[in-house]
A and B are shown apart, each in its own frame.
Chain A
Amino acid sequence: MNEVFPTMHTAHFLMGFGLLLMVLIGAYAARYYHTQRTLFYLLLAFFTMAFAIVIYTTDWIYFIIAWEGVTITTTAMIMWAERRLAAQYFLIQFTGSNILFFAIIMALREGYGMVSPIEEPWLQILFIFGLGTKSALLGLHFWLPPVHSRAHTPVSALLSGWSVNLGFVMMLRLLPEGNSVLFFTGLAMIFYGGARAFLSTDYKVLLAYSTLSQLGYIALGVGSGTVLGQMGAVLHMVVHGIAKTTLFLGSGLWEKECRGRIIYRFGQAFYHHPVNAVNTIVGFSSLMGMVFLAGFHTKNLIKHGTAEIYAVGFLLYGATLITVLYAMRFLWWGILKDIVTKTAQKSREKVSCYYRAGAYEKAPLMIGSLLLLVFGIYPPLIYMLMGVEDPQVVILWWPTMIENIFFLLGGVALLAVTKGLFFPVRPVPSLNRMLELVVTGTRKLSNGVYHLVFPSFQYQLLWIPLIILFFLIWINFS
């Protein structure tokens, strides 16, 4: 291994948790897929192999092959849900890979024989662009909400929980000194993703935008270039991965129970599924950074790593606020309010939908919540697994708890005043229109060029004497 990661241990740490998440997703998929289950497991195995190579390899060729391996396997998985979406996803990812490919070729030219820290700023930017397509950096993120919200549940979990991290893992290896472009993009991402999540009415779209927002924290940590920031980023990859994977897996259960993903309809279902409900609350609380949960420590690390340099601590308070707002809004509609039952009672219709979750579906959620709790209550454990010294960041428990309670109460108060901020239901975002524009645009261009260049046969032949004449005149003058 090279000296890019703080230690080889970091790679093992990421790999171990990646494997754990794959096992959780695999267990969940056992009941989710009734047909072609073997194919799914095969793809999952290939995906695991590919990301292992991405994490460990020092060879550029193996890296790009594995990177495309990730693209192919995820495309094949998305194809189950929607072929068109898979094609669009593939087109976008392949374009990003081409940028990355170009960056790698340039790196080779600059003398980087293997995967190692990049010095040149322009090359760093090129790599950030290339890797950013898979990791949905702001500006290149447009594919993420449609894909993550339209794919099947296990696939969404896999994409949102783990696949998006790979780009940041690579950035960590390539940019150990950090990069200010990445840093400020990350900062903007937190707010943009949070705001869009806050406005969402569809649960999976909300989760997808929340992923975008949380990736902002990781980008912030990686971009800061400080030890604490990068350590926080690595931990946040894992902690956010666990939380988001289990939340997405849970979303599949909600979808089956509530016959839809509109958050206003969740109310009744919440009490039928204690496991899923607890996991949802724990997951969102971890994303919010509540004390006694793992998310608190990682965000604290990132905050400490970044606040000193750019004095963005204040902005991060705002970021916490926006996270609290979108999480609380969902929990408000999910737990407290219940439009469906009310309207059903009015029209005297009997609402009967009940989905009995199996052990394979519950176990991953339980394991996820348990891990978040254990890491939150006893943080030395996660530092030990990561193989680093406890950074001894000053955590004042009581003030933080008061702060948390203040945030929570503020959120609840705001929601109570605005009656939960009911937005009209919007359709799930889609890439169709954009891609249609690209396709029709290129076809139009092609037609134009064709009619410009292709004359009829007798004029085509005129090119031959023209070219010969050109060559002969060239000889005369050279």
Chain B
Amino acid sequence: MIFSPVVFVLLPLGTAFIIPLVDLLHVATRRILVIIAASFSLFIGVVMLVSALPELSAGTFFQSYHLSGWIPPFGITLALDGLGLVFSSLVTLFSFLIIVYSIGFIGHHEGKYYVLLFLFQAGCQGVVMTGDIFNLYVFIELSAITSYALVAFERNRSALEAAIKYMVYGILAGVFIFLGVIMIYRSLGTLNLAEIAAHFHRIPLPVQRTSTVFLLTGILIKLGIFPFHFWMAKVYGSAPASVSALLSGTLAKVNIYIFLRLFWFGTGFNVLSEAGWDRLLLGGALLSTILGHVFALRETEVKRMLAFSSMGNMGIIVAVLSLNTALALYAALIHVIFHALMKTGLFLSAGYFLRAREGSKERSFVGAAYRKLPIFIGFIIFALAMIGLPPLNGFFSKWFTLQAFLEKDIYFAIAFIHSGSVLGILYYLPFVRQGMLGVKRREEQKKFPSHNASVFYHERFVTSVVYILILFVVLSGLLPFVYPDPLETVIAELAEPNRYIERVLGGLIYE
């Protein structure tokens, strides 16, 4: 059964507005409502994905929704193609997992938290679904504003500082994207992405390029590519673990989606490549990769370390994308999915131990293995996947990425990726070692086994999410071999944006 795209935006948006009402009536019902809403949207997502698979494999999947019945060039359109469906499924899956995790994890001001989380989900889904460049900006801002609040959720000094810095960067990025949108609108008189794509070549070249510069700068700030990477460690390190997981696992990937949608479908990649910016992008992204891995070495705080590792991996994704070959796009898509799984798992399992030993920051990982061994093994598995150890999924994304670089004879990129995975061992190992160290307890502490008492509302929720992610990380490595068709057709869609234009406009291209 195929649902209309609008359902995916309206469902979390509606839930976000219902939560305060339920709060007024009965507080305990809230958790049930949250779980029901999250499961329902997951259910719809899974049903949609399963029933769309044949069409997705054949490359004919397309869904659109015209708000108030206005047909494309005039009204607001929601359009969902294969690429959108893949990212939408990612958003649905990770939102569900993190909502379930949060039920056990957050434990204070939950009403506000879930409102923000569902608004965030609606924003991300909106970004993925929309076929309108101004709405794209609106949804970007929706997801960004909620994420500022989520980052500041702990309300301590460092969280507030991080949120303010994040907000400054986010607003600047938003302003640049908005400037780009305005310039395009002034030149073409339309905001529909397909319409823009069809007519972008008519804009005078300087305007084309200037608007592209603004859009590109905005996106690069959002992605945290060098030299705009400064906010990342602070933000990921100070936010609650569930929020960091959401930012690194979902929001960063949605930003990759924006990058793809704007520059492959909107302006066309040749605008970048003719100006020679694809090379520039490649260089910046690769620099970002190696810097991320090197910075991670010095970190003694696990979430900051993970943030820098994220920076490295986002660099790899952008670098591969800038090659713009079929293999490169495939590798990037695979790495987007796999990195989301691994990094979410890492943040969530690290968050478990940080919460379990709250208050001690510096040596917060000490004794993790004795606190809960399966989760600690999970952390090790995620780390091994990150460094690309077969047969875990990270290996396969590394495999495709390397082949993509080799196809273009970019050897230093290959060296960067290999050194990244070797440095990966060096920066994950101290935490594994700390986790295996025993915790010394005084005699009077031994009488009260507070060490084993749970600090979570429902520990089962927290642990089960991590177990599910372990399962995904171990099994998803097979995906490119067992069922490669959908991802390949998605890549084919990227190669020919004209099909998207035709489908959205329904053949109504005004010359």
Contacts and interface: CB of A to CB of B under 8 A. Distances in A.
B461 interface: no
Contact of A461 (B168, B220, B390): B168
Main SS of the interface on chain A?
A: helix
Main SS of the interface on chain B?
A: helix
B209 interface: yes
A447 interface: yes
A402 interface: no
Contact of A442 (B220, B275, B418, B426): B426
Nearest to A66: B390
Interface string A82-95: 01100100110011
Given A105-B406, A472-B213, A61 B399 contact: yes
B227 A463 contact: yes
Interface stretch (B15-23, B42-50, B291-299, B462-470): B291-299
Contacts of A445: 294, 297
Contacts of B213: 468, 471-472, 475
Interface in B177-224: 206, 209-210, 213-214, 216-217, 220-221
Contact of A105 (B227, B387, B403): B403
B297 A91 contact: no
A467 interface: yes
A102 B227 CA distance: 29
> For the side of the interface on A, what is the size category?
35 or more
Contacts of B71: none
A109 interface: yes
B276 interface: yes
Nearest to B230: A460
Name, among A109, A447, A471, the residue most crowded by chain B CB atoms within 10 Å (CB to CB).
A471
Contacts of A84: 433
A339 B167 CA distance: 76
Contacts of B395: 65, 68
Contact of B217 (A442, A447, A467): A467
Contacts of B403: 105, 108
Nearest to B425: A91
Interface string A402-445: 00000000000000000000000000000000000011001101
A464 B221 contact: yes
A105 B389 CA distance: 16
A94 B389 contact: yes
Given A443-B297, A443-B298, 15 more contacts: A65-B390, A65-B395, A83-B433, A91-B425, A91-B429, A98-B418, A99-B418, A442-B297, A442-B426, A447-B298, A453-B291, A464-B217, A471-B213, A474-B275, A475-B210
25 contacts: A61-B399, A69-B390, A72-B389, A83-B436, A90-B425, A91-B429, A94-B425, A98-B418, A99-B418, A101-B418, A102-B414, A105-B406, A105-B414, A442-B426, A446-B296, A449-B294, A449-B295, A463-B227, A464-B228, A467-B217, A468-B214, A471-B213, A471-B216, A471-B277, A472-B210
Interface of A: 61, 64-65, 68-69, 72, 83-84, 87, 90-91, 94-95, 98-99, 101-102, 105-106, 108-109, 438-439, 442-443, 445-447, 449-450, 453-454, 457, 460-461, 463-464, 467-468, 471-472, 474-475, 478
